């Protein structure tokens, strides 16, 4: 690794950085974002109506990691303002769920001139974006006919609801899992079923790999951070990704005020690091396990680890605690000390060459983690959207176990926060008669060769898929194209009408995904219908959003569309049971009241708009298993924390799916020879101005935080780039142009393009907006079949 990189990578103190960045717009913007500006629309006590004004409880319901109540001020039928949650004293027991800048800009989304206004059918080639207006009857008749044709020709397994998260609600919800209900799965289940998916684009490796260690995924609740003395955030940036009601940053700030030390490990000096960190440790993307291994090495070498905890609760830390029948040299300790197959001790020197983290920083960090208790080791989702994203997910819990921080207050299992929840009923969906499911990331492959796909591809429920996907129903989401990897490749698959024969899109805007529709339906926003959403965090809460304005243009809700289709297909009465959306919500509240006697009645809940569950003690994950292991074994096959997983060992793929978490050099990582051609690692962080791709077209958000690529001054200088210049970013998969932000807030060798910008190709196919998925690779991770969208090598040049 280049010596000059080592020199640059000395950790930087928060005080020093703030002094350096005091004059920069970036630092100021980051701080301003988190100032919780009460002046913006402040109305005491949740809202006081002005003359001729009514205030209607509503919400913000996208996939930001939070949910927030909003109070719409309506005058003469027009929303003029939103005020956020202002209930209570905003203390840790009863925090407010105050909307972030995105929620407060919702008027610009509701009244956006580009709203889809009426149903349309495709008239050009698929993907060209040429459509003609049709009536609702023609649209619904066509959809009903296509559903019947595809079911009759290929079976229900050929019908796929694409992964989407743009709309949340107990009736209208775009993210579909068997645990949820809602209008869409209810309709398709009654129609004979559909090909389902598992995983998410956010956290596939996390959700899939963590159970191999613990048997189930749990985390201490965020209010427990107030009990921590040291908090180390690995690729976790709640100051940007858990804004508003999620309150991720709020609890960290309270912990910090109480005296906790905060360290951030991340390639970027994130908003969280700027505002809270005592120390920032930059690290090359995809190399996190090398750091974890070296931290473990230091702890073992200096005898800092909690051997008694490991002996009592863990399987596979050392050779004395291995499952029977495993050859010597396969324990975690043997691997770390270089006594396994690779004969490589995972020393800080070894890790420095891979990660770029100086060895003295690694030693100091290991001593801090082992020496300050309780210590919360927290992982974000970013590091698992990598080529081998399963490894850090299982790696960090080893450090939590080595330091005895699992099952105690202020500690945690090295996963992510859990949260206090609240249960509200769903519109019942029934059972999906189709048993087959696929990982949500692999759907384009299932269009091309679904009939060949088996368990090796991640197929569950059947030995082999009986058919390719022939119809995609895309409701409230942009993963059909924009949010999926390798846009150019995906666009080609979608454009071929012989492969996927029918694409239905139901959305609010003409997104890049919507351009690939055969029939395009205009959806209402959630301000034009009623629903309930819930959220789990330091407290749990449920929000009722009333209809604020009547449906605009010819827009129709999901329930309305499904009811009309069910009528055409002969099961309309069975589908609706004669109930309105509000009737279903009344039943949802009855379920909530059965679970929680304090849950208010329907009318009160609807009028007030929010119910917050009374404060409870913090959740301590796996507390029972640690306090009384004999009666509360972990839900793993051994009943222990499986640092060594016999189930993974049995997969017999040690290079990509090792039985213990390991550093595996990533394709398109810092050790890939492809770096000679494409020398920069490109990551796609979440951006406070968008929720994934939602809000990208809202002008206020562009003014608040424009789409731009972070590049280190050294990499910029090598390319003759100055702050604000337009740059070309390219690899073998595609090219985009984007303005650059030249900043020391990103380490050399890494560039960051905020994910979610809408793909906008010019005539040559060069994206003009900075849509990172023109550069990302379709290459599912080995175990979870998840998306590796932060693993990309690129070159950057002046445009
Ligand atoms: S985007 Fe998220 S945090 Fe912001 S207002 Fe909406 S729900 Fe709240």
% of the chain with per-residue pLDDT over 70? 94
Report in angstroms the alpha-carbon separations of 469 from 82, 162, 442, 465, 483: 42, 11, 11, 10, 19
* Mean per-residue pLDDT over the chain, rounded: 93
Q: Which DSSP symbol is given to 449?
A: H
Give the mean model confidence (pLDDT) for residues 158-172: 96
The pLDDT of residue 383 is 97
Tokens of 160: 């796929």
CB 251 within 8 A of CB 225: yes
Give the mean model confidence (pLDDT) for residues 474-498: 98
CB 656 within 8 A of CB 650: no
- Number of the ligand 1 atom closest to the C-alpha atom of 242: 3
Rounded to the nearest whole angstrom, what is the distance from the C-alpha of residue 261 to the centroid of ligand 1? 28
The pLDDT of residue 586 is 98
Q: Checking phi first, is residue 499 left (phi over 0); if not, alpha (psi -120 to 50) or beta?
A: alpha
Rounded to the nearest whole angstrom, what is the distance from the C-alpha of residue 27 to the centroid of ligand 1? 22
Which of 59, 62, 84 has the most ligand 1 atoms within 8 A of CB, as the residue to mutate?
A: 62
Using CA atoms, how far apart are residues 131 and 135, in angstroms rounded to an integer?
A: 13
- Number of the ligand 1 atom closest to the C-alpha atom of 103: 5
Report phi then psi at 575, rounded to 5. Answer: -70, -50
pLDDT confidence band for 43 (50 / 70 / 90): very low
User: Could you tell me which of 243, 225, 240 has the C-alpha nearest to residue 97?
Assistant: 243
Q: What is the pLDDT of residues 300-358, one digit of tens each?
A: 999 999 999 999 999 999 999 999 999 999 999 999 999 999 999 999 999 999 999 99
- Number of the ligand 1 atom closest to the C-alpha atom of 99: 5
Q: Higher confidence at residue 178 or residue 133?
A: 133
Using CA atoms, how far apart are residues 280 and 357, in angstroms rounded to an integer?
A: 11
Query: Among 76-90, 218-232, 467-481, 755-769, whose mean pLDDT is lowest?
Result: 76-90
- Number of the ligand 1 atom closest to the C-alpha atom of 100: 4
CB 620 within 8 A of CB 220: yes
Instruction: Check pLDDT > 80 for residue 4.
Output: no
The pLDDT of residue 537 is 85
Q: Higher confidence at residue 786 or residue 23?
A: 786
Collect all residues with Cβ–Cβ distance below 8 Å to 381 and sequence separation of at least 6.
202, 203, 206, 235, 416
Rounded to the nearest whole angstrom, what is the distance from the C-alpha of residue 783 to the centroid of ligand 1? 32
- Number of the ligand 1 atom closest to the C-alpha atom of 691: 1
Tokens of 112: 């956006």
Collect all residues with Cβ–Cβ distance below 8 Å to 55 and sequence separation of at least 6.
43, 47, 48, 49, 71, 72, 73, 74, 83
The pLDDT of residue 614 is 82
* Helix pair 348-355, 359-371: axis angle to 10 deg: 120
- Number of the ligand 1 atom closest to the C-alpha atom of 62: 7
Rounded to the nearest whole angstrom, what is the distance from the C-alpha of residue 788 to the centroid of ligand 1? 26
Q: Higher confidence at residue 740 or residue 3?
A: 740
Which of 41, 66, 695 has the most ligand 1 atoms within 8 A of CB, as the residue to mutate?
A: 66
The pLDDT of residue 459 is 98
Rounded to the nearest whole angstrom, what is the distance from the C-alpha of residue 100 to the centroid of ligand 1? 5
CB 156 within 8 A of CB 196: no
Collect all residues with Cβ–Cβ distance below 8 Å to 705 and sequence separation of at least 6.
29, 687, 688, 689
Using CA atoms, how far apart are residues 562 and 559, in angstroms rounded to an integer?
A: 5
pLDDT confidence band for 226 (50 / 70 / 90): very high
Other Cβ atoms less than 10 A from the Cβ of 41: the count is 17
Which of 34, 61, 64, 86 has the most ligand 1 atoms within 8 A of CB, as the residue to mutate?
A: 64
Instruction: Check pLDDT > 90 for residue 225.
Output: yes
Rounded to the nearest whole angstrom, what is the distance from the C-alpha of residue 507 to the centroid of ligand 1? 19
- Number of the ligand 1 atom closest to the C-alpha atom of 246: 3
First to last CA, the chain: 29
- Number of the ligand 1 atom closest to the C-alpha atom of 68: 8
Closest residue by Cα to atom 7, ligand 1, is 67
User: Could you tell me which of 232, 222, 245, 212 has the C-alpha nearest to residue 379?
Assistant: 232
Residue 320, judged by CB atoms within 10 A of its CB (0-12, 13-18, 19+), counts as exposed
Rounded to the nearest whole angstrom, what is the distance from the C-alpha of residue 31 to the centroid of ligand 1? 18
Residues enclosing ligand 1, CB less than 6 A?
A: 60, 62, 64, 66-68, 99-100, 102-103, 243-245, 691
pLDDT confidence band for 599 (50 / 70 / 90): very high
Q: What is the pLDDT of residues 448-472, one digit of tens each?
A: 999 999 999 999 999 999 999 999 9
Instruction: Check pLDDT > 90 for residue 88.
Output: no
Rounded to the nearest whole angstrom, what is the distance from the C-alpha of residue 244 to the centroid of ligand 1? 5
Using CA atoms, how far apart are residues 460 and 594, in angstroms rounded to an integer?
A: 34
Using CA atoms, how far apart are residues 79 and 527, in angstroms rounded to an integer?
A: 10
User: Could you tell me which of 237, 280, 274 has the C-alpha nearest to residue 21?
Assistant: 274
Instruction: Check pLDDT > 60 for residue 41.
Output: no
Rounded to the nearest whole angstrom, what is the distance from the C-alpha of residue 730 to the centroid of ligand 1? 33
- Number of the ligand 1 atom closest to the C-alpha atom of 70: 5
The pLDDT of residue 573 is 98
Instruction: Check pLDDT > 90 for residue 139.
Output: yes
Beta strands 68-75 and 750-752, pairing class: unpaired
Report in angstroms the alpha-carbon separations of 502 from 120, 121, 128, 159, 377: 14, 11, 15, 9, 46
Q: Which DSSP symbol is given to 601?
A: P
The pLDDT of residue 38 is 32
Give the mean model confidence (pLDDT) for residues 54-67: 92
The pLDDT of residue 445 is 98
Closest residue by Cα to atom 3, ligand 1, is 244
* DSSP alpha helix (H) spans, 653-796: 699-704, 713-718
pLDDT confidence band for 91 (50 / 70 / 90): confident
Q: What pTM does this model have?
A: 0.93
Tokens of 73: 């001020």
Q: Higher confidence at residue 28 or residue 186?
A: 186
- Number of the ligand 1 atom closest to the C-alpha atom of 243: 3
Rounded to the nearest whole angstrom, what is the distance from the C-alpha of residue 103 to the centroid of ligand 1? 5
Q: Which DSSP symbol is given to 415?
A: S
Rounded to the nearest whole angstrom, what is the distance from the C-alpha of residue 690 to the centroid of ligand 1? 10
Give the mean model confidence (pLDDT) for residues 663-670: 98
The pLDDT of residue 47 is 62
The pLDDT of residue 46 is 53
Using CA atoms, how far apart are residues 757 and 691, in angstroms rounded to an integer?
A: 10
Rounded to the nearest whole angstrom, what is the distance from the C-alpha of residue 449 to the centroid of ligand 1? 39
The pLDDT of residue 44 is 37
Closest residue by Cα to atom 4, ligand 1, is 100
Rounded to the nearest whole angstrom, what is the distance from the C-alpha of residue 47 to the centroid of ligand 1? 19
Which of 99, 610, 692 has the most ligand 1 atoms within 8 A of CB, as the residue to mutate?
A: 99
Instruction: Check pLDDT > 70 for residue 36.
Output: no
């Amino acid at each position: 690794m280049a010596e000059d990189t080592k020199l640059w990578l000395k950790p930087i103190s928060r005080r020093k950085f703030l002094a350096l960045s005091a004059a920069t717009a970036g630092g100021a913007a980051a701080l301003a974002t988190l100032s919780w500006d009460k002046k913006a629309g402040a109305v005491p006590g949740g809202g006081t109506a002005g003359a001729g004004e009514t205030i209607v409880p509503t919400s913000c319901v996208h996939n930001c990691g939070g949910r927030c109540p909003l109070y719409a001020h309506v005058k003469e039928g027009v929303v003029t303002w939103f005020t956020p949650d202002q209930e209570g004293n905003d203390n840790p027991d009863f925090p407010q769920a105050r909307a972030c800048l995105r929620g407060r800009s919702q008027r610009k989304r509701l009244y956006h001139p580009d709203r889809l206004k009426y149903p349309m059918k495709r008239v050009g080639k698929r993907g060209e974006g040429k459509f003609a207006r049709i009536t609702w009857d023609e649209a619904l008749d066509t959809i009903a006919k296509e559903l019947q044709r595809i079911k009759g020709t290929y079976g229900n397994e050929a019908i796929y609801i694409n992964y989407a998260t743009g709309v949340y609600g107990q009736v209208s919800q775009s993210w579909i899992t068997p645990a949820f209900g809602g209008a869409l799965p209810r309709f398709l289940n009654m129609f004979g079923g559909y090909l389902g998916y598992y995983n998410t684009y956010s956290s596939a490796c996390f959700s899939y790999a963590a159970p191999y260690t613990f048997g189930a995924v749990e985390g201490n609740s965020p209010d427990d951070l107030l009990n921590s003395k040291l908090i180390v955030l690995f690729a976790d940036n709640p100051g940007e990704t858990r804004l508003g009601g999620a309150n991720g940053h709020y609890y960290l700030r309270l912990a910090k005020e109480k005296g906790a030390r905060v360290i951030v490990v991340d390639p970027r000096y994130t908003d969280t690091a700027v505002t809270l960190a005592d120390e920032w440790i930059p690290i090359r993307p995809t190399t996190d396990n090398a750091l974890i291994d070296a931290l473990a090495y230091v702890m073992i070498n200096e005898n800092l680890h909690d051997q008694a905890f490991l002996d009592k609760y863990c399987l596979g830390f050392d050779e004395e605690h291995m499952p029977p029948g495993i050859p010597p040299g396969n324990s975690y300790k043997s691997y770390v000390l270089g006594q396994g197959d690779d004969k490589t001790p995972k020393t800080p020197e070894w890790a420095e060459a891979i990660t770029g983290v100086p060895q003295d920083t690694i030693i100091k960090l290991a001593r801090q983690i082992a020496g300050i208790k309780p210590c919360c080791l927290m992982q974000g989702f970013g590091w698992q959207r990598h080529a081998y994203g399963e490894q850090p997910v299982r790696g960090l819990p080893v450090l939590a176990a080595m330091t005895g921080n699992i099952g105690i207050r202020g500690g945690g299992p090295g996963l992510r926060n859990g949260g206090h929840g609240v249960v509200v009923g769903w519109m019942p969906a029934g059972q999906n008669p189709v048993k087959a499911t696929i990982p949500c990331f692999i759907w384009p492959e299932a269009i091309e060769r679904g009939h060949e796909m088996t368990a090796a591809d991640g197929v569950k429920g059947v030995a082999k898929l009986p058919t390719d996907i022939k119809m995609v129903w895309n409701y409230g989401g942009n993963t059909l194209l924009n949010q999926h990897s390798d846009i150019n490749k995906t666009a080609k698959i979608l454009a071929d009408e012989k492969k996927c024969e029918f694409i239905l899109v139901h959305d609010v805007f003409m997104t890049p995904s919507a351009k690939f529709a055969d029939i395009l339906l205009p959806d209402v926003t959630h301000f034009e219908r009623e629903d309930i959403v819930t959220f789990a965090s330091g407290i749990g809460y449920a929000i009722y959003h009333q209809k604020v304005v009547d449906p605009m243009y010819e827009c129709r809700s999901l329930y309305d569309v499904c009811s009309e289709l069910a009528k055409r297909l002969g099961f309309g009465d069975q589908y609706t049971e004669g109930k309105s959306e509000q009737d279903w919500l009344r039943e949802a509240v009855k379920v909530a009241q059965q679970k929680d006697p304090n849950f208010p009645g329907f009318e009160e809940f609807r009028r007030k708009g929010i119910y917050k569950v009374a404060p409870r003690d913090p959740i301590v994950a796996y507390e029972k298993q640690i306090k009384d292991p004999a009666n509360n074994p972990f839900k793993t096959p051994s009943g222990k924390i499986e640092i060594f997983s016999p189930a993974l060992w049995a997969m017999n793929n040690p290079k990509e799916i090792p039985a213990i978490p390991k550093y595996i050099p990533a394709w398109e990582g810092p050790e890939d020879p492809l770096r000679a051609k494409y020398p920069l690692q490109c990551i796609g962080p979440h951006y406070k101005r968008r929720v994934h791709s939602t809000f990208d077209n809202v002008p206020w958000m562009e003014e608040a935080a424009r789409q731009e690529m972070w590049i280190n001054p050294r990499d910029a200088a090598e390319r003759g780039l100055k702050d604000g210049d337009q740059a070309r970013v390219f690899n073998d998969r595609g090219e985009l142009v984007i303005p650059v932000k030249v900043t020391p807030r990103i380490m050399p060798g890494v560039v960051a393009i905020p994910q979610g910008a809408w793909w906008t190709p010019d005539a040559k196919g060069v994206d003009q907006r900075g849509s990172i998925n023109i550069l990302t690779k379709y290459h599912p991770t080995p175990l979870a079949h998840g998306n590796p969208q932060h693993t990309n090598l690129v070159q950057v040049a002046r445009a």
